[in-house]
């Protein structure tokens, strides 16, 4: 079995840079040598990767004409006999193709060391770029979450400030509704300039299933006007705003428990009642 060719011979074969006789010599060796077949496969794979590791740049328009002019102007140079590999493979165990042994081995490896270095550099730059892109995406997602939280908090603060303005304004009328029995309490804040009535209930158990609470206003003529429906939380609290005509005049407000959906007129005895006259 013949000795392994130098690495530069395998590299030239992987690049299809050998003539027919030289390529035939390498192919006869590859038929029996697993190590060199693997080396050629690796070299071809590295060559393909290097082609994709650099940006593609279009050549200048004038390059083609310059190359053709130089090719036509160059004299034909016959191939040197020493550059040919004998058709018959060497019989000596140590024999190597003359063209393969003609140049120093270390010098012929330099282009492949440079190519390998370029491949490593390209891989490193690609990994760094991917890591930076992932970090930027993570930061963008965190900023988006922060903006969403701040937006939600800003809306909650705006709603709170608006409600406080309705309750604390100097023109706001207030009435307290006391329970006829135990414990629940309610306060109403009527802002006539905006036509908004704010209801605040405490210690009022939620209405039963299929039932709801209804707030009423009793005008000077004794007519009951439904002002809105509500229910309380499990803790017995409720705060809500109701739209009411700004010119409405009520003597009394009351709360009854009604069927779900409310009633046009009270169907039960009010359990919370308060007089607007007490607020003047």
pLDDT, one tens digit per residue, over 13-25 is 877 778 888 888 8
pLDDT, one tens digit per residue, over 110-157 is 555 555 555 555 555 656 666 666 767 767 777 776 667 767 767 767
Half-sphere exposure in the Cβ direction for 90 (13 Å, CA): 17
pLDDT, one tens digit per residue, over 236-255 is 999 989 999 988 889 999 99
CA 134/CA 226 separation, integer angstroms: 59
Neighbours of 13 (CB within 10 A): 23
Helix or strand or coil: residue 174?
strand
What pTM value is reported for the model?
A: 0.40
Q: Which residue has the tokens 């007129």?
A: 265
pLDDT, one tens digit per residue, over 173-194 is 777 776 665 568 888 988 888 8
CA 115/CA 240 separation, integer angstroms: 74
């Amino acid at each position: 079995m013949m000795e392994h060719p130098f690495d530069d011979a395998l590299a030239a074969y992987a690049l299809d840079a050998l003539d027919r006789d030289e390529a035939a010599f390498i192919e006869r060796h590859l038929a029996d040598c697993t190590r060199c077949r693997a080396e050629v496969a690796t070299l071809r794979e590295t060559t393909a990767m290097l082609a994709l590791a650099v940006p593609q740049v279009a050549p200048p328009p004038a390059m083609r004409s310059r190359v053709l002019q130089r090719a036509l102007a160059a004299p034909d140079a016959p191939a040197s006999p020493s550059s040919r590999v004998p058709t018959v493979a060497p019989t000596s165990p140590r024999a190597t193709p003359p063209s393969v042994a003609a140049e120093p081995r270390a010098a012929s490896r330099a282009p492949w060391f440079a190519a390998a270095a370029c491949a490593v550099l390209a891989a490193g730059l690609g990994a760094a770029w991917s890591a930076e892109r992932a970090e930027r995406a993570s930061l963008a997602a965190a900023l988006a979450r922060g903006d969403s939280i701040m937006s939600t908090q800003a809306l909650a603060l705006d709603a709170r400030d608006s409600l406080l303005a309705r309750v604390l304004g100097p023109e706001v009328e207030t009435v307290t509704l006391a329970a006829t029995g135990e414990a629940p309490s309610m306060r109403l804040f009527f802002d006539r300039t905006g036509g908004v009535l704010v209801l605040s209930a405490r210690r009022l158990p939620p209405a039963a299933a299929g039932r709801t609470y209804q707030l009423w206003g009793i005008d000077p003529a004794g007519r009951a006007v439904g002002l809105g429906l509500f229910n309380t939380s499990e803790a017995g609290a409720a705060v809500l705003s109701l739209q009411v005509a700004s010119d409405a005049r009520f003597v009394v407000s009351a709360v009854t428990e009604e069927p779900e959906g409310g009633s046009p007129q009270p169907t039960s005895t009010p359990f919370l009642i308060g007089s607007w006259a007490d607020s003047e």
